[in-house]
Amino acid sequence: MMTAPHQPPLWCQLQAVSTVLQAIRRGQSGTAAMDAVALPLRAGVQALSFEVLRCLGRAQALRRQLASRAPPPPVDALLCVALALLWHQEDACYDAFTLVNQTVEAAKKSLVTQPQAGFINACLRRFLRERAALIALTDADPVARWNHPAWWIEQLRVDWPDQWQTILASAGGPGPMVLRVNARQTTPAAYQVRLREAGMDSSPVGDWGVVLASPCAVQLLPGFLDGCVSVQDSAAQLAAPLLLAALPNQSGLRVLDACAAPGGKTAHLLELADVVVTALEIDPDRCERIHQTLARLGLTADVIAADAADVSAWWNGEPFDAILLDAPCSASGIVRRHPDIRWLRRQTDIAQLAAVQARLLARLWPLLKPGGHLLYCTCSVFHAEGEQQLDAFLAGHPQAVMLASPGHLLPLDNAQAGAPMDNRAHDHDGFYYALLEKTAS
């Protein structure tokens, strides 16, 4: 297959994908690993990396069939990259022989992998000859079947005995590109007209969302640079309306958005109501992301770089009418968009994150006025970060009353019972929402 003149050669992209995979295996996030990729390579490398990460369980199982002893990490990574892109040929982005030839070329071009280029070639040629048999040998491996770590699969089986397979299957491809229309500028129906005029098909979702039929670069969206729309999954778009809906006289209300970066939910609150928002984020660099988000949308909030749990360091003593706690979590509900997460997380992370969530709930609850509302949410599908977390909090806080809340939103398809009604296609990220009211007594 010929490479288009304006594209870097495939072998060069495969080298970069292998480097990204090695970084993730060392514990670096996919975002940070991608930032280190040269800009001309980045778009192609990201697309290939996402495909590799979505098929990594199968690729690792196949590599074990081809070489019982693990080769050096750079060689293993390059082999797994090729196998992930080769194994399901019906959906492959390149034909098999091109991928093999370019992978071997990538090995030859690197001083680290060059001595093993022949070994890589032999493994991949054998895979092409024995594809069906080798794939059959890995079918019984749950990690290969579902492309998630074994502990993750088992936790979903425990938490969701009827839906675990659908949840895992939903992570096998990319999520849709969903836009949130800025209520201060336009409506979803009016924005869909602009999209049609730009040659883009779309459909409405929820109260303020629009789903694109095909994703595109944000710079191509009509009015994006002017703050007309933002990219935000339909499940995440529920946060601001849920928090505001049951609060009377919204104008002038003091709202805290804890753990606010990159600012999407802060912005949505300000788009929907004339509220005064304090946005907290522990990472100063991520605070800058909030500032950039608000500036593009023409909105203003009090953005503070601080640990939300260290109340004495940032709170002025005036209680809040409403609190949005989008707590740090496993991000197990957004693996379609961030496929590296499944390979970065460890089983022990869940209990540690649950402890952070409990600490934040306990520290922020006293900052809420009687009659005020706190919305707890996580982009997780694990019970420990959702239902179990709130059950424990309610048991220890008699002033907290659970209001009508969606609970766990699962990334289910149309055939699955229990999918939320906010999205008729049910094609959204996994989330958990609990809305609490603080009683006077």
What residues act catalytically? Answer: 379
Nearest to 434 by CA among 363, 365, 348: 365
Query: What is the rounded CA–CA span in Å between residue 435 and residue 323?
Result: 10
Query: What is the rounded CA–CA span in Å between residue 197 and residue 381?
Result: 38
**Percentages helix, strand, coil for the chain, rounded to the nearest 5?**
50, 15, 40
Query: What is the rounded CA–CA span in Å between residue 57 and residue 191?
Result: 41
Helix (H) or strand (E) holding 294: helix 284-297
**Per the structure block, which two tokens stand in for 321?**
């009418």
Q: Is the dihedral of CA 8, 107, 80, 73 positive or negative?
A: negative
DSSP labels, 130-149: SHHHHHHHHTT-HHHHHSS-
Q: Is the dihedral of CA 300, 306, 311, 314 positive or negative?
A: negative
Query: What is the rounded CA–CA span in Å between residue 235 and residue 242?
Result: 11
Query: What is the rounded CA–CA span in Å between residue 419 and residue 142?
Result: 25
Nearest to 94 by CA among 104, 82, 108: 82
Q: Are strands 320-326 and 254-258 parallel, antiparallel or unpaired?
A: parallel
Radius of gyration of the chain (CA): 24
In 213-367, DSSP assigns E strands to 229-231, 254-258, 276-281, 302-305, 320-326
Nearest to 288 by CA among 308, 307, 261: 261
As a whole number of Å, the end-to-end CA separation of the chain is: 72
